[in-house]
């Protein structure tokens, strides 16, 4: 263990920039630099450990997701004593939404540290949030719960979490539209089809029909995004009717 500690604390020149980058992002010195390297290792590198197990950021992402959810849950539990289970769950979902995590990853500039055989411009938006969660997992393994909580408090809660703003933030327009249709006993249908056209990336188009009226259509790089985009357009077309119910 002593030899290992010396290796990690020596920070050879090849690790110097990475170490300084992590120190800047974390606000403290990482102990085991290899854990943090793994947090930025994409599966396309095809690296394995001595037992032949894949080594990439995905397992750390799983751990970080759990830690993030736990710490945000604790914060909301203490901050909003009047909030019931449903309210707290909804608020937590807003804080740890994929869109929000992607924004956090971008703001911290995490993509530049990712080691991959895939050109970075070919990654989707979620790479930013995935690596952010992996980083949280690495912090937990390297320094434990207290440091993990400190990082999330300083990098997520203090700069981004505003209870009043979150209460008014829409997570899913699709959910709002479907809920309204069900309350009003209106039929709805999302007709999704592939619509690549001349684009190199695969695209999907969607037509949202409510009752017998085609209310909105949209196009995006995934079915989910196309449905959400169409739902948002439909929501604003129906906003007065939806919000007055």
Pick the catalytic residue from 65, 142, 149, 228. Answer: 65
| 133 belongs to the catalytic site | yes
133 known ligand binder: yes
| 65 belongs to the catalytic site | yes
Q: In 3D, which of 158, 178, 160, 159 has the Cα closest to residue 169?
A: 160
Pick the catalytic residue from 58, 133, 200, 243. Answer: 133
121 known ligand binder: no
Q: Which residues on adjacent β-strands are paired with residue 210?
A: 188, 213
The Cα 158–Cα 135 span in angstroms is 18
103 known ligand binder: no
Q: Which residues have a Cβ under 8 Å from the Cβ of 80 and sit 6 or more positions away? A: 87, 88, 91, 163
The Cα 242–Cα 245 span in angstroms is 6
User: Between vectors from CA 27 to CA 115 and to CA 19, what angle results, nearest 5°?
Assistant: 40
| Binding-site residue positions for Mg(2+) | 61, 130, 133
| Binding-site residue positions | 61, 130, 133
Residues annotated as catalytic are 65, 133
């Amino acid at each position: 263990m002593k030899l290992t500690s010396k290796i990690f604390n020596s920070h050879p020149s090849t690790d110097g920039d990475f170490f300084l980058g992590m120190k800047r992002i974390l606000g403290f010195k990482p102990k085991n630099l290899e854990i943090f390297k793994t947090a930025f290792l994409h599966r396309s590198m095809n690296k394995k450990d001595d037992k032949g197990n894949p080594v990439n950021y995905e397992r750390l992402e799983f751990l970080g997701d759990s830690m993030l959810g736990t710490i945000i849950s604790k914060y909301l539990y203490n901050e909003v004593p009047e909030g019931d289970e449903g309210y707290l769950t909804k608020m937590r979902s807003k804080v740890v939404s994929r869109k929000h995590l992607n924004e956090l990853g971008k703001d911290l500039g995490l993509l530049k540290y990712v080691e991959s055989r895939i050109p970075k411009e070919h990654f989707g938006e979620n790479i930013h949030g995935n690596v952010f969660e992996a980083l949280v997992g690495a912090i937990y393994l390297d320094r434990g719960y207290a440091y993990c909580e400190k990082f999330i408090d300083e990098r997520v809660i203090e700069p981004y979490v505003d209870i009043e703003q979150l209460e008014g933030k829409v997570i899913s327009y699709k959910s709002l539209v479907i809920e309204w249709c069900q309350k009003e006993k209106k039929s709805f249908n999302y007709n999704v089809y592939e619509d690549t056209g001349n684009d190199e990336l695969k695209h999907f188009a969607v037509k949202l029909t409510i009752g017998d009226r085609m209310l909105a259509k949209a196009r995006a790089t995934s079915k989910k995004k196309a449905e959400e985009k169409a739902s948002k357009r439909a929501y604003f077309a129906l906003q007065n009717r939806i919000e007055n119910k």
